[in-house]
Structure 1
């Protein structure tokens, strides 16, 4: 496993590497102690997971996760200080996959990392950079953008992540739990109201008639599936 750690706290770095080396014998890690160099390394080393210390996400770098999401879907785990609930919510809304509290609990960190790796391997993601959804409506994964006849359709980072998972697995029923864990993280796996709210918002932007959806279909009692329309 190859990881990128963006962190300038030597103790946090030591704890993280130690706990992951116990679980992953083939661990390869690259460290950056600043945001700008860290972003540059993403394309260079193509890590499986990015660990980002929240202490580096000050006001000057508050859009770091959004910036990464503009060109990469690599899972991001935020190393967050205990009690920073507001920051945690914002990180997840911006596109982070999980948050792990500092000081790092080895068992929790291993479990979160393994869950992210498992989810990304098991969802059968396709390699196309652009996938058409319906006549004129396309998802571009390289730019993290939805377009209608070439014009951008505004989506929040969460809405795009949700649409991306559904699109990459079009024709398959994805359960409520899988969607919640993939887009928000394992701790949100039971928050069905959160998922329904964002599905509603997404339908309002891509469906001709959101009240009678033809693209994002509800599989009652199971989850949702995306049906491409042509």
Structure 2
């Protein structure tokens, strides 16, 4: 059973989330504040986290940073904050998705399913298990990236994006396809997700992130991995 940690202080919303997720066979732990969330995550590591940013004891972004430091589980933000810079801050902190309130329960559940899929193992063809460049090496079977002799820590979303690109070397992967496969959405308005995560991947993998050698943008269309 997939275990979801819900970090939210609105009792009515928590009740609705718990009812809907338990009806779909998710296990649910609930934390009304950040301190409880971190304690629960340490004692029973979740498979997915849903977190509000406006918590009574600490900012949700700080909760995300603390969780990301110890757990690679996908983190979905559920917040009334709509400003672009606040969304980017949450994504930069390690969140995998951002859903604004009020929201559709069906959309939230679709995003939750997409987050769970990102953590599942995907069969890799035997001839594509290892991708080597002069700057880094990607072991697709072990889900591991090495650069300069050190392991590069990636979030589930960063890994999924990289995996799609490197298994399509030299080919344009459209924004629509990436949004659909990684987040389960295809809206053009979500392309800011791609920009944030591609920037993070470049900071971790490229020698000069502002002039990428391997993770190339095709303006207005998508991205390409150049081996």
| TM-score above 0.5, yes or no | yes
Kindly state the Cα deviation for residue 18 of structure 1 after the two structures are TM-superposed: 2.2
Alignment of 1:44-193 (within 5 A): 44-56=43-55, 62-81=61-80, 83=82, 86-121=85-120, 124=122, 134=133, 137=136, 147-150=147-150, 164-168=159-163, 171-173=166-168, 176-180=175-179, 186=185
CA contact (8 A) 2:92 2:196 kept: no
Query: TM-score scaled by structure 1?
Result: 0.63
Query: Relative to 1, partners in 2 of residues 1:222 and 1:57: Cα closer, same or farther, differing over 3 Å?
Result: same
Kindly state the Cα deviation for residue 4 of structure 1 after the two structures are TM-superposed: 0.8
| Alignment coverage as a number of residue pairs | 211
SS in 2 for 1:8: coil
Kindly state the Cα deviation for residue 91 of structure 1 after the two structures are TM-superposed: 1.7
Bigger mean CA offset, 194-203 vs 164-173:
194-203
Cα distance in 2 for partners of 1:4, 1:59 equals 17
SS in 2 for 1:16: helix
Query: Relative to 1, partners in 2 of residues 1:188 and 1:76: Cα closer, same or farther, differing over 3 Å?
Result: farther
CA contact (8 A) 1:218 1:225 kept: no
2:7 corresponds to: 6
CA contact (8 A) 1:133 1:167 kept: no
Stretches of structure 1 that go unaligned for 5 or more consecutive residues are none
Stretches of structure 2 that go unaligned for 5 or more consecutive residues are 125-129, 139-143
| Larger RCO (CA within 8 A; separation ≥ 6) | 1
Bigger mean CA offset, 176-185 vs 13-22:
176-185
Query: Relative to 1, partners in 2 of residues 1:62 and 1:112: Cα closer, same or farther, differing over 3 Å?
Result: closer
CA RMSD of aligned residues (A): 4.6
Cα distance in 2 for partners of 1:84, 1:209 equals 26
Cα distance in 1 for partners of 2:102, 2:72 equals 26
Cα distance in 1 for partners of 2:51, 2:161 equals 26
Query: TM-score scaled by structure 2?
Result: 0.64
Query: Relative to 1, partners in 2 of residues 1:100 and 1:182: Cα closer, same or farther, differing over 3 Å?
Result: same
What is the CA deviation profile of residues 65-103 of structure 1, one whole-angstrom value per residue up to 9, with x for unaligned ones?
Answer: 122222322111222126455433422232222233334
